[in-house]
Structure 1
Amino acid sequence: MRALLFSALLGACFTLSSCSVQATTNVSPVTPHWQGQGVIRAIDAQALVIQHDPIPALKWPAMTMPFAFSADVDLSAVKPGQPVTFTLERAGDGFRIISLTPLR
């Protein structure tokens, strides 16, 4: 009987200790980012059209496509025909540019 009671108390202690660990563990989600390089083909208020090199991490071949961009992206330093590097993140069903650097 003592062994059964001891086992029950020990099990309860492990259950409570795992709950307290879960409650105090701070898990921060990490948003994945992908790097690309290409040439700007067009700029408008909602999107940049970029002819980009392959992006192996996304299993994308080289192609030309429009990308939305975050409000933080400075478009004043780029123009059509400009080579750039860019960083992408997921945005809804697609991707958006979160940083853009002109290549000289």
Structure 2
Amino acid sequence: MKLTLIAVASTIFTLSLSARAEDMPGMKMDGMEGMQMKQETKRAPVAKAEGTIKAINSEKHTVTIAHGAVPAVQWPAMTMAFSATAEQLTGLSAGDQVVFEFRSEGAKATVVSIKKVK
């Protein structure tokens, strides 16, 4: 009799844990609308390059740079436009030699830092 009661109690306990685990995905989130869930996003690494500014478009916040090969992102030498902030573009003009760091995410490359060499 004792053994039967222990077996029944163990079974009920195990089933209750299983039922609680199944309820978690359907857990009600009432009153939790304001909570922000922290989401891990993997950012593209920063790459470094040197080049010559060919054009600056202040309206579109882009700088076109003819740069050398960038092994960190497996790019050959080329001329391309990078997104940049107005602050980053201050004091720069076409023809300036620059060293810069950028992130490339998909088809978009964004300047992280840029400095005139000469």
Same structural fold, with TM-score higher than 0.5 when normalized by the shorter chain: yes
CA displacement at 1:97 relative to structure 2: 2.0
Where structure 1 has 5 or more consecutive residues not aligned to the other structure, the ranges are none
Give 4+ residue runs of structure 1 displaced > 6 Å after superposition. none
Q: Which residue number corresponds to residue 17 of structure 2?
A: 10
1:57-96 matches, within 5 Å, as: 57-76=72-91, 78-90=92-104, 93-96=107-110
AA paired with 2:66? Q
| C-alpha distance in structure 2 between counterparts of 1:68 and 1:26, whole Å | 27
| C-alpha distance in structure 2 between counterparts of 1:14 and 1:37, whole Å | 55
Is the alpha carbon distance of 1:12 and 1:93 closer, same or farther for their aligned partners in structure 2, counting shifts above 3 Å?
same
Is the alpha carbon distance of 1:92 and 1:63 closer, same or farther for their aligned partners in structure 2, counting shifts above 3 Å?
closer
Root mean square deviation of aligned Cα: 3.2
AA paired with 2:100? F
AA paired with 1:32? A
Where structure 2 has 5 or more consecutive residues not aligned to the other structure, the ranges are 1-7, 28-34
Larger Cα Rg: Structure 1 or Structure 2? Answer: 2
Contact 2:54/2:64, CA 8 A, preserved across alignment: yes
| Paired residue total | 98
> What whole-Å deviation, never above 9, does each CA across 1:36-70 have from its counterpart, x for those lacking one?
22121222323322111222232211111122322
> Equivalent pairs: percent with the same residue?
24
Is the alpha carbon distance of 1:103 and 1:67 closer, same or farther for their aligned partners in structure 2, counting shifts above 3 Å?
same
